[in-house]
Amino acid sequence: MTPDEARAILLEELSNIAPEWDPAEIDPAEDIREAMDIDSMDVLNLVIALHKRTGVDIPESDYVKMITIEGAVAYLTAKSGG
């Protein structure tokens, strides 16, 4: 998965979870939980959706790496073998 592919999937799933926001307008370095008012249930639903879409295994201990858009893109790219 290229970073662009990872970003496209991430933004699509983020907008499913928080349709009130346009994730393309969120600062990629900002904590999405703050920027998009996302709670732990939303984070879990995001992880479930990303796991389903990409097959990437995201253990609970790695959730902290997923809390910014740029962090999540880097994580998904690396874990999918780039």
Q: Is 28 or 45 the residue whose CB approaches another protein more closely?
A: 45
Q: How far is the CB of 66 from another protein (least distance, A)?
A: 11
Amino acid letter for position 78: A
How is residue 65 written in tokens?
């790496």
| Residues lying near another protein in the complex (CB under 8 A) | 18, 20, 33-34, 37, 39-41, 44-45, 47-48, 51-52, 58-61
The answer for residues whose C-beta is within 8 angstroms of residue 44's C-beta and 6 or more apart is none
Please state, in angstroms and rounded to a whole number, the distance separating the CA atoms of residues 11 and 9.
Answer: 6
**Pick 56 or 69: Cβ nearer another protein:** 56
